[in-house]
């Protein structure tokens, strides 16, 4: 998929509609410049299972932290 993006007077980049439609308004991107090439990479949030898997072995995840994870997952799903 190829299109032409525009830099607006507000210094934002307007993506072509067919490309922008592939993303959600809540998506965030990493942007970097190499010579005259601008790269955009969508950040993908870690899955809940990945977050829980990062907990140290032998230590239970505190209920407050589990509660925060559940609320964050629900918030993201509603945003989709």
**Tens digits of pLDDT across the chain (80 residues):** 899 999 999 999 999 999 999 998 888 899 999 999 999 999 887 666 666 666 667 777 788 988 898 898 888 888 87
CA distance 77 to 80: 5
In this structure, what DSSP letter does residue 40 have? Answer: E
**Is there a single domain that holds both residue 52 and residue 67?**
yes
pTM of the predicted protein model: 0.52
Residue 31 lies in a domain: yes
**Is there a single domain that holds both residue 37 and residue 12?**
yes
CA distance 80 to 74: 10
- Give the domain extent around 17: 6-42
Provide the number of structural domains found in the chain.
2
Residue 1 lies in a domain: no
Residue in the structure block whose two tokens are 């809940």? 48
> Do 1 and 57 meet the contact criterion of CB atoms below 8 Å apart?
no
**Is there a single domain that holds both residue 11 and residue 38?**
yes
Q: In this structure, what is the dihedral angle of CA atoms 78, 3, 31, 55, given to the nearest 10 degrees?
A: 40
């Amino acid at each position: 998929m190829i299109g032409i993006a525009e830099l607006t007077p507000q210094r934002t980049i307007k993506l072509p509609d067919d490309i922008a439609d592939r993303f959600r308004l809540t998506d965030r991107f990493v942007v970097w410049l190499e010579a005259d090439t601008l790269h955009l990479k969508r950040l993908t949030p870690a899955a809940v299972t990945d977050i829980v898997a990062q907990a140290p072995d032998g230590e239970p995840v505190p209920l407050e932290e589990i509660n925060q994870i559940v609320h964050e997952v629900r918030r993201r799903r509603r945003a989709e």
